[in-house]
Each structure stands twice: as C-alpha cells, then as structure tokens.
Amino acid sequence: MGLPIEDYGLIGDTQTAALVGKDGSIDWLCLPRFDSAALFSALLGDEDNGHWRIAPEAEVRKVNRRYREGTLVLETEFECAEGIVRLIDFMPPRDKRPDLMRIVEGVRGTVPMELDLTVRFDYGSIVPWIQRSKQDARTLLAVAGPDALRFDSGVDIEAREFAHTARFSVTEGEQIPFVITWYKSHEESPEPLNPSQALEDTVKWWRSWVEECNYQGEWHEEVHRSLLVLKALTYAPTGGIVAAPTTSLPEQLGGVRNWDYRYCWIRDATLTLNTLLVTGHSREAVAWRDWLLRAVAGEPRAMQILYGPAGERRLAEYTIPWLPGYEGSAPVRVGNAAANQFQLDVYGEIMDAMHQARSAGMEPDAWAWGVQKELLDFLEGNWREPDEGIWEVRGGRRHFTHSKVMAWVAFDRAVKTAESLGMDGPVERWKRLRREVHQEVCREGYQAHRGHGRRGAFTQFYGCKHLDAAVLMMPLVGFLPASDERVRSTVEAIEEELCQEGFVMRYASEAWEKVDGLPSGEGAFLPCTFWLADCLAFMGEGERALAHFQGLLGIRNDLGLLSEGYDVKARRLVGNFPQAFTHVGLVNTARNLGLAGVREGARPPTP
C-alpha cells in the first residue's frame, strides 16, 4: 500500500519519472517512457507489485528531505540512535538508456541498512527471470518479454521469494552506490555509468537549465521548484509535455474518478509552454510548437485534445484488475478515452500559445500559421456546437461557457497575430466571428437571476444556474476586464459557493452527476484556486488574493510539490502527482501578485 501522496518526491530524466517515498521506497516507475508499463507499481497496490526500498534497519527517529538547490536530485536523511545516513536519488539525463541511481552515504556514526528489491514488469503482473551476472555476483539481470533490467549493487544481495534483499552497514564518509538500467531484452546488457560522475553531471545539467530563468520576484524558491517540475514533465526527444507522471491517483480517496495523466494534453501543454516562455525558457517553446505540428499533421481538423509523448493518437483506455488501486480507489486505468472527445477550448489555447510565443520572439513559421488557419476554418463552422468541455464530461455534450470563451480567444488571437505580425488571413471575418462569440456568451452564459438570493454569474453552460470555476479564466484571457460588474459578481459567487476553507471546487458536486455521468466526489481543484487568486488580484483585492495564494503554498509537501487536488477534510493531497497544471498556476500567480501595484488593482498581462 502506498504512502500519503504528499510523502513522495519526484526524480526524473525528462523522459520518465519515479516517485520516492519518505520511507526510502520507490513505489512508482515506468520505463522507458512516462507512459510505458510500470515495473514498480506498489503505489497502486502493494510491495509485491514492485518496489525498491533502501532504509535504516534500525528505528528511524526523524526524516529530513530536500532537493539539491536548483536540481531534481533528491536527498533523504534518516536519523537513528546509531547515527545519520543520507540517501541520494536521481536519474541522469539520458544518453541511450534510462538509469536510476541511489547512493547511500554515511553522515554520522554507523547505521545498519536494509534493501528490498521486487521487480515486476507490466504494472506488477509479470515476475521476470532473474540471474546473476557471470562477471559479478553483485549484478543481477532481469528479463521478461521485451523488457530487461541490469541491477548493480554495492553490497552482496540475496534472493528471497521472487525478490532480493541485502543487509549492510554504512559508516561516516562512506558511499555505497546502486544502479538500475533498463534495456531491450534482445540487446546486450549495457555497461553501468559511474555513479559519482553521473551525480556531478546531473547536478550541472539541472542547474544550467535553472540559470536560464528570468524570474526575480518574491517567491523565488517556490517558482524555481515549480519550473523544475514542469521541465521534468517535458518529454525531451519530442518536446511534448505530459500532464503528470502517474495514473489513477484518485480525485477522491476510495473513489472511481481515477485517470491516466501520462499523456500530452493540448490544454495543459499550452499553459505550461506560456509559463516557460515568460520565465525565459524559449527553447521549450520551439520544441513544443514542432511537436504540435507533427501531432496534428495530416488533417488539422481532426486534432485530438491529447496525444502520447511522441504524438501517438491511439490511447485506448482499459482497466487493470489485478491492482487494487491507491487506498482502494478502483479501477486503475491505463490509456484515456478523453482522447476522442471534442473540446472547443483547445483551439483557443493553441492560438493563444502561438501568439504569445511569437510575441516573445519565436520566429514565425509559415507551416505553423498554415495549420492555425486550418484550425480556425474548422472552428468557424463548429464553435456553435456543444462539446465535452474542459472537465471532460462523460454524460453528454453541453454548450459550456468556458468553451465558448476560449473559442473567442482563438479568433481574438488570430486577429492580433495578423495585425501585429503581418500574417495573412481573413482578418475582417475573424473580427466578425470574435464579436458574434462574445455577444452570445454574454447573452446566453450569464444568469442575472439565479434564485434563492444568489449572485448573478456566468454559469457552467447555457441555460443552467450552476457555477463552474472554469469561467474564472474570463478576465485572465481578456474576454472581459476584471472591473466588469458581471465578472466581479461571478468571482464573488464562486468564492462564496465553491470555496472550502479557501480552496476552490470545480463545480457544485450535487449537480455534477447528471452532467458527467459518473459518481460525484472529489477534492478542491488547485489550478482553479490559483485562478481565483489571479482574479482577485486584478480586481484590486490584493489581500484576499494573497491569502488564497499563501494557503496554496501551505499545502505543498516538504519538497514543494503539489498534486491536482486537495481533500480539505482529510488535509491531504489527491489526484495525479505532481501535476503540471497546478505548478503552472503557482508560477503564474506568483508573477501576477508580484506586479507593481497589485494591492491597488493590477491589470492582467495584455494577451
């Protein structure tokens, strides 16, 4: 059974990632890619589904964790009566094959240690054939089907009931390395990297990337940590950006809303791209643009809302019955059927991202602009259609207000791109469409009289009276100014009706089952809470905005990581972890609150 979500730390090599627990156990790792089958799946089951634990054999009195400054190198210190030992976990930026390295370092005294390694391929379902290397008895070779692992140990290891263990001691100043290397089973076993040199190279690599950041605001450490998470979730070979490195961490403990987030959502990726752009990381913008063009190539009108890390389109969803799920949250899902949904908002997000990228200095690309015009042609004929919306409902399409707002964004950014950069296109037609969408949203999406003394507000979809935190994006994308009375009323209604102890729910859960088609129940959605803070700042409510932001910072784990949601009653993080969408919100809100005059009422950045 996995630890509380907040007890995990992230390590990765920008092609995959692992979750390391406070107890020294790696309970989740997919190799060789983010979306590959896991070989450590204890997070969604138990130890027999695969894990790798290194920890003191003696009673642990205290655990301290930290990342080495400016890196994704994780250090966990265990304090025992016998002394202190440090566990250093990292994944070197990849050359040909993925490596996971652990170095046990004695800090004080002599500490007895234990190692437990259980390798299970294919999400815990396959026990591999394991044999010792003929060259070194401390090296194990594990093979099953297409997968193979090389495990190099710094101590003697023993086989026990389809697993391996070791008992050893580490003294002050001593370092003992352990390395796992994945490779294709039909290939020769690779030679291991030198752990000490790999550690030095990994630290340099991450710090070199962080040095490109131009953020100099008040929340320097918090922003840098979030940016490192975003970089870690970038699939380096293609430029795609995954939403999270996990699947099926539940939106509600024990619930059924458990989804696979190891893919590239157009929405999440564009928001991540914008955040990286404004903090100085322009190379990611070009890589993402090229990834997008490859992903939608052939027929831009058939664009999906999410793809695999390399642009794969077939992401069939199925369940894994042998894994009980995180704290009994079943089913465990692989793949995501939302890939086949129609969501209007992604067109606006793409147009906005490309506009922001060009405005930031990215060289205009004729192919990219041609694809954008094709997308606009499709949108022109389909923006009046209902869709599944940003929350990916499975209970039928609606005319979601947020979706229509983002359709307006698409036409608005097309006009601005053409006018500011001299790109060709039917500008007057786009202006007319922009005006038509705006008028319809203001007419159909706003409910002045919601009954029972409730404030007037832009609602979830046309004709309903229920709130949806997604409409908080209105002033943030420039649809209406924060000073507009309808925006103010909507923001205040959301703060009053959808907030729980300062954290924002996406919608009223009692009305959601009819819309979504699944049982209701989830934690507060953290990106929406960041949006609320942004809106309040732009409304001149700086103190309230700051209070929400500080509340969000307060629920980060000890390593500065956040998941998708927060269970207010249980005081626990929920949802896939760590979540790119959430860390994007942290960076953006820190920037917005740092604008001059925020307490008197700042303006959103001009789109």
SS3 label, residue 448: coil
Q: Which residues pair with 566 in a beta bridge?
A: 524, 573
In sequence order, what are the residues at sequence separation of 6 or more whose Cβ sits closer than 8 angstroms to the Cβ of residue 88? 73, 74, 75, 101, 102, 103, 104, 105, 199
91 and 170 part of one domain: yes
192 and 216 part of one domain: no
What is the domain extent for residue 51?
Answer: 5-207
Residue 605 is predicted with a pLDDT of 52
186 and 57 part of one domain: yes
- Residue 395 maps to a domain: yes
Which domain-ending residue is among 179, 207, 235?
207
Q: Do the Cβ atoms of 320 and 341 come closer than 8 Å?
A: no
- Residue 512 maps to a domain: yes
Residues 96-145: pLDDT tens digits? Answer: 899 999 999 999 999 999 999 999 999 999 999 999 998 899 999 999 99
161 and 225 part of one domain: no
Q: Strands 175-184 and 147-153: what pairing?
A: antiparallel
Residue 599 is predicted with a pLDDT of 45
Q: How confident is the model at residue 483 (pLDDT cuts 50, 70, 90)?
A: very high
452 and 585 part of one domain: yes
470 and 590 part of one domain: yes
Residues 355-373: pLDDT tens digits? Answer: 988 888 888 788 889 999 9
Q: Do the Cβ atoms of 246 and 262 come closer than 8 Å?
A: yes
Residue 10 is predicted with a pLDDT of 98
- Rounded percentage of the chain residues whose pLDDT exceeds 90: 80
Q: What is the mean pLDDT of the chain?
A: 93
197 and 223 part of one domain: no
Judged by average pLDDT, the poorest of 38-47, 350-359, 511-520, 562-571 is 511-520
pLDDT of 26 strictly over 80: yes
* Number of domains present in the structure of the chain: 2
253 and 186 part of one domain: no
Give the mean model confidence (pLDDT) for residues 527-548. Answer: 94
Q: Read off the tokens for 394.
A: 């499975």
- Residue 335 maps to a domain: yes
Residue 296 is predicted with a pLDDT of 84
116 and 178 part of one domain: yes
Q: How confident is the model at residue 519 (pLDDT cuts 50, 70, 90)?
A: low
- Residue 606 maps to a domain: no
pLDDT of 596 strictly over 50: no
- Rounded percentage of the chain residues whose pLDDT exceeds 70: 96
- Residue 76 maps to a domain: yes
234 and 203 part of one domain: no
Give the mean model confidence (pLDDT) for residues 162-187. Answer: 97
Q: What CATH number does the domain containing 150 carry?
A: 2.70.98.40
pLDDT of 601 strictly over 50: no
| Chain centroid, CA 368 distance in Å | 26
Q: Read off the tokens for 82.
A: 């016998």
- Residue 436 maps to a domain: yes
396 and 516 part of one domain: yes
Query: At residue 304, what are phi and psi to the nearest 5 degrees?
Result: -90, 170
Q: Of 76, 69, 84, 70, which Cα lies nearest the Cα of 20?
A: 76
Q: What CATH number does the domain containing 457 carry?
A: 1.50.10.10
Q: Report CA Rg, the chain.
A: 25
- Residue 380 maps to a domain: yes
Judged by average pLDDT, the poorest of 320-334, 392-406, 591-605 is 591-605
Q: How confident is the model at residue 517 (pLDDT cuts 50, 70, 90)?
A: low
Q: Do the Cβ atoms of 552 and 584 come closer than 8 Å?
A: no
Which domain-ending residue is among 207, 241, 265?
207
Which domain-ending residue is among 207, 236, 260?
207
When comparing pLDDT for 357 and 381, which is higher?
A: 381
321 and 457 part of one domain: yes
SS3 label, residue 60: strand
Angle at which helix 526-538 crosses helix 580-593, to 10 degrees, equals 20
- Residue 607 maps to a domain: no
